[in-house]
Structure 1
Amino acid sequence: MKEKVHRFVSNDFTIRIAAVNSTAVVAEMQKLQQTYPLPTVAVGRAMTGALLMASHLKEGQQVGLYFKGDGPLTAVYAEANFEGQVRGYSPVPVFEPANYEGGLKLATHMGKGMLTVTRHLPFQKQPHNGTVEMVSGEIGDDIAHYLIQSHQIRSLVSLGVYLDTYGQVRAAGGVILEVMPGVEEALVDKIQKNAEKFTENISKMLLDGAQPVDLVKPYMEGIPFTELDHDHSVEYYCPCTKDRVVRALETLGIAELEDMIMKNEPAEVVCQMCGRPYEVPVPELSELKDKLHKGSLH
């Protein structure tokens, strides 16, 4: 059975929560992109965060998270929509540090940088972008920082990816808790105290059989809450098409395309996000070259 993002609300409607077991989609990303441990953790956390944020949007809306740092892990991107479709990517999928003395902490390898959050709304031509400084590079803290800076929403974000000794994904998931305006401060204090008491690793909890609601309960101890309907299965989905691949080939330029045509070589392109291979035959490369040539004459 496919997983879904579980959404909850406190009974006084001042706190909204989302939790997910994202193991299957993070494992799918790792399988498609053959990512090493650190990129797997980084992209897996970002995908989980995107799923949780997207579940608080409306039908047809999606959110993209782009973490750009000055460290060797360089960048991480993930996007998800309200319907539970998600994908993620790092331009350095096989990055590996000199040693793993620091474990799988991301901060050192992401470095200092910026987080850009993009919200796509169905009827708007231009997406809405918000950019904030990364405060830790650990993904969850940076999302919480974005929410308070850009939306004045206080939040608690906990994301985890558990790898086995071979670096393979065994569990992944997360929880996001957002405090709405007008909440009583006593309630916020209660959540903070609950969070301080709760020291378990959430990906390890999922590995041991915990359900998404079990990730929520420790934070909401003593606060009544209810689950909301959200019947969208989580799946790894990439909207790449051959048309998009052909458009991407335009960036090669006329000379490069001409060289491939002269050598009678079809272009073989693999989507970086889903690993799907595409072949563009020589006649189509000729058409593309002619189109670029005509365009250059205007």
Structure 2
Amino acid sequence: MAKEQTKERVHRFVSKDLTLRIAAVDATSVVAHMQDLQKTAPIPTVAVGRSMVGALLMASNLKDGQQVGLLFKGSGPLQSVYAEAGYNGQVRGYTPNPTYQPANYDKGLSLKDAMGIGLLTVARHQPFQKQPFHGTVEMVSGEVGDDIAHYLNQSHQIRSVVSLGVYLDTNGKVAKAGGVIIEVMPGVDEAVVDRIQQNYEKNRPNISKMLMDGAQPVDLVKPFMEGIEFEELEHDQSLEYFCPCTKDRVVRALETLGEAELQDMIDKKEEVHVTCQVCGKPYNVTIPEVEAIKKHLHKESMH
């Protein structure tokens, strides 16, 4: 699996007059890896997968060491969807309701009902900043791409086209996943914006279908950019499904339980077995370790 993941990367482009910033990606391996780890049902797979693709596209336009996190919190049964990606191509995604299935699939894999109405919060992390920059907007459709475009327009005054696709096979497994983002920079000739709109209406690019037909990232961009010259920029960051979980984080989470709860675990000789929900990595905390955590908490409370 890891070998497969290293081949893919986000491809970045720019229009010849530098007023359009474009990124495209085939992110099939990392989205399939997420599904393998979390055993997500079809609709959660599409929601988390599109969010991961969106985060990767946004992160590719940041600087080295920077990250972007997307948190969709809605009134629908999925409750929330989170995806995080770094400029370096590392990405992860998660929903607390990975096994959600609707009563029927009459509406296909539409996310509107599953996500419901709510908010999209985007966090941009910089390596030397203690607190990330947060921007929050209302979700306009729950279909992820539209919500990202709405966020860029509201928070950064950047008009954009965001087209994301996750294609599942007849068994509900990820067959293809990818997307395109085109951001319009200040000073653009409005005729260029009109041209992109016309291209979109004429070609109706279907990202999932194009990927299934063997399209490369540059091919995903072409239907939007007919008649507009563009070129590729260097961006050699391989995609990797990556989770920064550590045993230290598990220990810190246990500290929040308090002394009485920890003593109860010690009395019952309950070892702690925790599996990271994002990457599936198992962590075990032994009774002596639980005792040490309790001792540490007690010591802290004396100060």
TM over 0.5: yes
Distance across 1 between alignment mates of 2:301 and 2:118: 37
Corresponding position: 1:175 with 2:209? no
Question: Could you say which residue in structure 2 is the equivalent of 1:293?
Answer: 298
Q: Percent of aligned positions with the same letter in both sequences?
A: 71
- Residue 265 of structure 1, CA deviation: 2.1
Query: Could you say which residue in structure 2 is the equivalent of 1:26?
Result: 31
For residues 253 and 95 of structure 1, the distance between their equivalents in structure 2, rounded to whole angstroms, comes to 33
Q: Is the 8 A contact 2:205 2:223 kept in 1?
A: no
Query: Corresponding residue for 1:150?
Result: 155
SS of residue matched to 1:252 = coil
Query: Which residue is 1:195 aligned to?
Result: 200
Which one of the candidate residues 97, 103, 121 is aligned to 1:98? Answer: 103
Query: Using a 3 Å threshold, how does the CA distance of structure 1 residues 200 and 12 change in structure 2: closer, same or farther?
Result: closer
Moved over 6 A (4+): none
Q: In structure 1, how many angstroms separate the alpha carbons of the residues matched to 2:138 and 2:259?
A: 39
Structure 1 regions of 5+ residues with no counterpart? none
What SS is found at the alignment partner of 1:268? strand
Amino acid at match of 1:279: N
Looking at structure 2, the residues matched to 263 and 93 of structure 1 have their Cα atoms a distance apart, in angstroms, of 31
CA distance in 1, matches of 2:205, 2:61: 25
Question: Aligned partners of 1:295 and 1:138: how far apart in 2?
Answer: 47
Provide the residue aligned with 2:223 in structure 1.
218
Give the conservation status (yes or no) of the 8 Å contact 2:91–2:239. yes
- 1:235 matched residue in structure 2: 240
Q: CA deviation at 1:274?
A: 0.1
Q: 1:292 Cα deviation (Å)?
A: 2.0
Deviation string 1:2-43 (CA, Å, 9 cap, x unpaired) is 100000000000001000001000000000001101100000
- Checking the alignment, whether the CA contact within 8 Å between 2:89 and 2:240 is kept in structure 1 is yes
Unaligned residue ranges in structure 2 (runs of 5+): 1-5
Cα offset, 1:295, TM superposition:
3.0
Q: Distance in 1 between matches of 2:71 and 2:121?
A: 5
- In structure 2, what is the Cα distance between the partners aligned to 1:217 and 1:242? 46
1:140 paired with 2:145, answer yes
Partner of residue 268 from structure 2, selected from 249, 253, 263? 263
Aligned residue in 2 for 1:89: 94
In the other structure, the counterpart of 1:185 is 190
Question: How many residues of Structure 1 are paired with residues of Structure 2 in the alignment?
Answer: 298
Q: 2 CA distance for matches of 1:197 and 1:269?
A: 51
Q: 2:259 aligns to what? A: 254
Inter-partner Cα distance in structure 2 for 1:245 and 1:232: 30
What is the DSSP-based 3-state SS (H/G/I as helix, E as strand, rest coil) of the residue aligned with 1:167? coil
TM-score (norm 2): 0.96
Cα distance in 2, alignment partners of residues 251 and 169 from structure 1:
37
Q: What residue number does 2:10 align with? A: 5
- Cα deviation per residue 1:142-173 (whole Å; 9 max; x = unaligned)? 00000000000000000010001111000000
Give per-residue Cα distances to partners, 1:73-93, cap 9 Å, x unaligned.
110000000000000000001
